[in-house]
Amino acid sequence: MSRLNVTRAAFVLAAFVLAGCGTVPDLPPMPERLVINQTPALPTPTPGSITLSPDGFRTTERVAVRVRNVGCEGVSIGSGFAVSANRLVTNRHVVTGAATLQVSTYDGQDLLVEASGTAVLADLAVVETSSPLPAAVELADEDPAVGTEVEIIGYPGGGRLTSSTGEVLSYEEDPLNANAGEVIVSSAFAQPGSSGSPMYDSEGRVVGVVYAAAPDGQHSLAIPASTLRGLLDQTSLDEPVPDCQ
């Protein structure tokens, strides 16, 4: 074989080798060392308005209070809910005519009532307590839209703490003429004793205050949260609750 032939053969071999590099897959990498004893991160609870207390009750249940109106002629029962450490909201007609007001919590604790005042426009009242309330609830920024799922937690019939669910059916002029403006009509169950119950949305925010069952007995009526917010924004509740004296 001549020198020229040897050179040609070497170049051809090199060309084959280099061309082959283009078709050969990537070289296998070195293995990465395993990290052993990994400790999985525990999930952190997401902040929300619906939280559980150590006794397992939801905040929406813990804020619900039972209001006993001891008047001159008899005893009537209503519901209410805490909006701050020492303030609760209920209906005006729940506290009207009371010689004394007695408030108890979901777990049966009695709270001392200090004073109460009522709103001028709607069937709403604010009661101040000397004893701290178990929890406070958040008000919704906007009134619920038609179709919103709602939950009412209160003491229907003066019985035990009860929850009923439904949805907002419509907004109508108050059929009982007890409130100014439109009120919420919902399919959630209510009956005497439910008056003053909070109406919650799915996030546990108050969207209304139940004040009556609809005349058909199938629906409940509630004062929208926007009206309640107007009441709470008042610096003072000048109008005293009428008593039975």
Partner 1 sequence: MSEPHGTPGGEREPARDDADRDHDLAARADREVASLERQIDMSLRRADDAASGRTVVRRRSPALVAAFVIVTLLFLATAALAAYLWRTTDEWRAEAVQRGELATAVAAQRDELAGELNQAERDLEATDNQLLELQDRLLSLADERAQTGDELELTRLIANDVASVASQLEGCALGQDQLIEQLIAVLEELERYDPASVAAGARQASEQLNTACDEALQGIEDLRQRLGTE
Nearest to 96 by CA among 217, 242, 245: 242
Residue 145's DSSP bridge partners are: none
Is 27 an interacting residue with respect to partner 1 (CB under 8 A)? Answer: yes
Is 9 an interacting residue with respect to partner 1 (CB under 8 A)? Answer: yes
Stretches 117-125, 131-139, 159-167, 209-217: which one binds partner 1 (CB under 8 A)?
159-167
Q: Phi, psi at residue 29, to the nearest 5°? A: -80, 165
Residue 28 vs 43, nearer CB to partner 1: 28
**CA–CA distances in Å: residue 15 to residues 12, 18, 201:** 5, 5, 75
Is 20 an interacting residue with respect to partner 1 (CB under 8 A)? Answer: no
Is 242 an interacting residue with respect to partner 1 (CB under 8 A)? Answer: no
Is 230 an interacting residue with respect to partner 1 (CB under 8 A)? Answer: no
Are residues 94 and 195 in contact, defined by beta-carbon separation less than 8 angstroms? yes
Window 42-61: residues binding partner 1 (CB under 8 A): 55-57
Q: Which of 124, 161, 213, 228 touches partner 1 by CB under 8 A?
A: 161
Interface residues with partner 1 (CB under 8 A) are 3-4, 6-7, 9-11, 13-14, 17, 27-31, 34, 36, 55-57, 66, 68, 70, 72-75, 77, 102, 104-108, 110, 155, 158-161
